[in-house]
Amino acid sequence: MIIYCGQRIISLLLKLKMMTSRLGFTQLAVELIALSHIEEQNVLYGAVTMGDVWRFGFLDRSIQQITQDINLFKVPRDN
């Protein structure tokens, strides 16, 4: 899913099925790199989710670097 703010893409979200977060983040990195070729923004944000577990990262085009948050974030379940 691509999230827009007006005409600009602000982030990319991937939902994983039957994949590890490491493979999912690799897929996110590839898609952020592809997106950077059509978007003019210097920083593109992304997230990978496996339902209730999320991993975030971003691509900084100015230094050609992808940063992956070392933490996994878990959404609490409703009781």
pLDDT digits (tens, 9 = 90+) for 35-59: 889 888 889 988 888 778 888 899 9
The pLDDT score that the predictor gives to residue 24 is 82
The pLDDT score that the predictor gives to residue 71 is 87
Distance between CA atoms of 67 and 59, rounded to whole angstroms? 6
The pLDDT score that the predictor gives to residue 58 is 93
Task: Examine the pLDDT at 65 and tell me if it is beyond 60.
Answer: yes
**Tokens 């996994």, located at residue:** 72
Spatial contact of 25 and 37, defined as CB atoms under 8 Å apart: no
C-alpha distances in angstroms, 75 versus 21, 24, 41, 51? Answer: 15, 18, 29, 9
Distance between CA atoms of 26 and 61, rounded to whole angstroms? 17
